[in-house]
Amino acid sequence: MVDMSNVELRIENIVASVDLFASLDLEKVIEICPHSKYNPEEFPGIICRFDEPKVALLVFSSGKLVVTGAKSVDDIQAAVSKLVEMLSKIGTKFGRAPEIDIQNMVFSGDLKMEFNLDAVALVLPNCEYEPEQFPGVIYRVKDPKAVILLFSSGKIVCSGAKSEHDAWEAVKKLLHELDKYGLIEEEA
């Protein structure tokens, strides 16, 4: 059994797609979105930034959004609610409640142990290591789907997870594999 008690994980970014179930007049939307940019020749949507919660929203005329930069799912929900409230004030009609779909969560973490990445790369399946190109092992977890970057310091970056639970499960699988192949050194 792998000890996870010292492992730290922290959300760095969440990306979500959102369907507002409404058609949007971007010329009207740009007038109510603070800190926004709209140049249809360059990009077909509005880039809108909120200070609270601190996120960026890509707003399209189809009523579809991409929300990025969030540190929690609550931040995404708050940003969508804030935008819906703003859009309601300019007469936007919604077919139903917004649908939020988490696309990617990125976590940074620390396993609190060091690794010989050459040894890890030799025996660990589902990984890539090219130190001339990138200083970490790239480990792919199939279920739950995630990618973990493992550095010799024990620091990690986990991306591709759809939930915090999935990120923890992916890290647990990595530690299990490292333990199975004798790559975790016991502390004296």
Q: What is the pLDDT of residues 167-187, one digit of tens each?
A: 999 999 999 999 999 998 755
- Give the pLDDT band (50/70/90) at residue 99: very high
Whether the bond between 44 and the residue before it is cis, its omega within 30 degrees of 0, is no
Residue 1 has a pLDDT of 63
Decide which of 31, 62, 97 is a domain's last residue: 97
**The pLDDT of residue 188:** 35
Question: Which CATH number do you get for residue 146?
Answer: 3.30.310.10
Among residues 97, 113, 146, the one where a domain terminates is: 97
CA-only gyration radius of the chain, Å: 21
Neighbours of 135 (CB within 10 A): 13
> Could you tell me the pTM of the whole model?
0.91
Tell me, yes or no, whether 138 lies in a domain.
Answer: yes
**Residue 8 pLDDT class (50, 70, 90 cuts):** very high
